[in-house]
Chains A and B, each alone.
Chain A
Amino acid sequence: MESELSEPTYITLDDNLWGEILEATNGAAGPCFQCGVCTATCPWGIVREEDFTVRTLLRRAQIGSLEKVESLWLCTACAQCEASCPRGVPIAEVIRGLRYLLWKRRHVLPDLPTTLWSLYWNNNPWGQPPSQRTQWMGDLEVPLFDADRHEILLYIGCTPSFDRRAQNIARSLVKVLKASGVSFGILGEGEPCCGESALDLGHRPYFEELANKAVAVFYQNQVKKIVTISPHCYDVMQNEYPDDAEFEVHHYTQYLASLLQNNLLSFQNPLNHKVTYQDPCFLGRRNNEYDAPREVINSVPGISLLEMDRSGPETLCCGGGGGRMWMETPIGERFSDVRVREAASTSAEILVTSCPFCITCFEDSIKAESLNGLKVLDVAELAALALEELT
């Protein structure tokens, strides 16, 4: 077991590697003064005796060493550490940068190259045929986006396009948007992958290529306003796409909240349930959006929202971020197992969230933990159930 105290006393420094790391991480590790709050707050500490030593990784980045950095594949990019870092180090960014150096050295975990190849050949990370990108619609009719007729582009994203469970989120959201009367379209088979999984896996150059392609498609379609289903797509479009991009991006919970505020949407069908809400890291901590999803939930008549101890900025990650959706996590180390127990302990009947990755992880964990009384729903699914005369 490697503790932080058993650091080697001597280390051979390599100026070239130091320069390379400095460039890959944008020098972001510089301000770190090794207080260790990052390691202490990292959720891996909940599931592992041996901590994921974030502090050590930062130190290695500072001095220019790639020894023993394999643990950086553990990072779920949940940003818990960043929230508590007194020096404001963008730690997840440093880790992404270090991951790219492992890509360059081809020291990556198995199956990760296959994920990138799937983005390349299939335009999605799931290895699914690109021609089936609209399969999620079932018998719903959704028009292709037309800038003259549509106010918003509903960006479905890969997981809700292909994952059978997540497809229901997309269908539910379409029903809610239709009920509000807002004009919207989709890009159908031509919808580009946002590239988030490439970035999260640390391959920034490929992400940039994908982002540029996506932006070109949005421009070509004269898109001015994008509403995404996944907070992961939202995060990269909002924070990583070129600054001069001429479209605004909203997560759908934000968009629904604004529809509710403007009385363009209302829920008539009471749902008399106790629910709790999981703040997805990529919406909450990474984008500071805690209110919009709660506004939507609280607009549903009959709902009572119970908060978990860890919520808002303290939310516990489901484990699916940081590219962990494409890696295996051993039993006993899955954050989502812990999280569904926490949800159940609030006596909520429904665990609501607003991220397809959270949904996937929680659905698995509810079975693993035999929490048969707990259901997992996306905010969009809850909203669709709350529409009047839902058939």
Chain B
Amino acid sequence: MPDLHMAVCMKVVPKPEEIRVDPETRTLLREGARSEINPPDMNALEMALSIKDEAGGRISLISMGPPFVEEYLRVGLAMGADDAYLLTDRAFAGADTLATTYTLAQCLHKIGDVEVVLLGEESSDGATGQVPPGLAEWMDYPLITLLRSLEIDKEQNVLRGRRNVDGGYEILEVPLPAVISVATAANEPRFMDFERKGWAFEDTQVTMWDAQDLSAESQFIGIPGSPTIVTGLEQAASQERKNIFLDGGASEIADQLVKILRSN
């Protein structure tokens, strides 16, 4: 039986508190903002790594983004992934989830033998949670979202995942190949393995693929491939705490609190 091949999709996102909206141009000011790997994607990678620890297998990392994302993929390689693909092309820019999931799907088709695709439940910047189902749809793979644990049965060619729902849980099974999303904080991502770090950051190559490498149709990528357009952008009300002291007797305070709770 060949080794299980897993792919983990990773997004590099700016640290949320460092993003500002230019009040004049109404565009995002990302300049100088520090970035990080989308935290739920770290949970997805950890889930794949723990499968690899137990049952063996191979993990490919896939990310779409500008060239600087390469360094972040190397973090995932140092954690234990085996190879990394960076989908980078100016033509990919401006993608909404339809175009993003198409591009990721083209990459999966090109890699060819991936049996389990793992993603974080959502990204900390867009927070749509649409990429896992969208990718499953392009691939025509079954989908289970918000998993907290995963087991893979290569004999039966299925995976079983546990997700929490309505205060309880359910265990679902789907045949391979499949797409799963991993619940935020489902596990604690391991730190980088410093024995791998030299290899991950210096010796190994990250595969760079552009639109042509992916045989991506131009109508499906970047801005043309994105039905959604952004027509306005605003800085949300300040995140500073309001520090409002409520006055009155217990029942008056209770009434004020009810109003506050209901309006949020």
Contact = CB atoms under 8 A, between A and B. Distances in A.
Indicate the size class of the contact surface on chain A.
10 to 19
Nearest to B194: A205
Contacts of A113: 188-191
B109 interface: no
Contact of B188 (A110, A120, A131, A132): A110
A117 B18 CA distance: 18
A205 B195 CA distance: 10
A117 B189 contact: yes
Contact of A131 (B18, B189, B195): B18
A249 B192 CA distance: 31
Q: Which of B36, B42, B191, B193 has the most CB of A within 10 A?
A: B191
Contacts of B15: 121, 129-131
B154 interface: no
B17 interface: yes
A206 B190 CA distance: 14
Q: Which of B18, B190, B197 has the most CB of A within 10 A?
A: B190
Interface string A104-118: 101000110110110
Contacts of B190: 106, 113
B30 interface: no
A104 B75 CA distance: 16
Nearest to A110: B188
Contacts of A129: 15, 17-18
A127 to B, nearest CB: 11
B191 A116 contact: yes
Nearest to A208: B194
Contacts of B42: 117
A113 to B, nearest CB: 4
B195 A121 contact: no
A110 B190 CA distance: 10
A202 to B, nearest CB: 11
Contacts of B192: 120, 206
Given A121-B36, A130-B34, A203 B18 contact: no
Contacts of A116: 191
A112 to B, nearest CB: 8
Interface in B11-69: 15, 17-18, 34, 36, 42
A111 B190 CA distance: 10
Interface in A16-33: none
A132 B197 CA distance: 29
A203 B192 CA distance: 11
A116 B189 CA distance: 11
Interface in A161-195: none
Contacts of A203: 191, 194
B202 to A, nearest CB: 14
A290 interface: no
Contacts of A206: 191-192, 194
A104 B197 CA distance: 12
A103 B191 contact: yes
Interface string A79-106: 0000000000000000000000001101
A121 B42 CA distance: 12
A4 B87 CA distance: 58
A254 B12 CA distance: 44
Nearest to B32: A131
A111 B187 CA distance: 10
Contacts of B189: 113-114, 117
A113 B75 CA distance: 14
B188 A114 contact: yes
A114 B42 CA distance: 11
A111 B18 contact: no
Interface in A256-273: none
Nearest to B36: A121
Contacts of A130: 15, 34
Given A113-B188, A203-B191, A206-B192, 5 more contacts: A111-B188, A114-B188, A120-B75, A120-B191, A205-B197
27 contacts: A104-B195, A106-B190, A113-B189, A113-B190, A113-B191, A114-B189, A116-B191, A117-B189, A120-B75, A120-B192, A121-B15, A121-B34, A121-B36, A129-B17, A129-B18, A130-B15, A130-B34, A131-B17, A131-B18, A131-B34, A132-B17, A203-B191, A203-B194, A205-B194, A205-B197, A206-B191, A206-B194
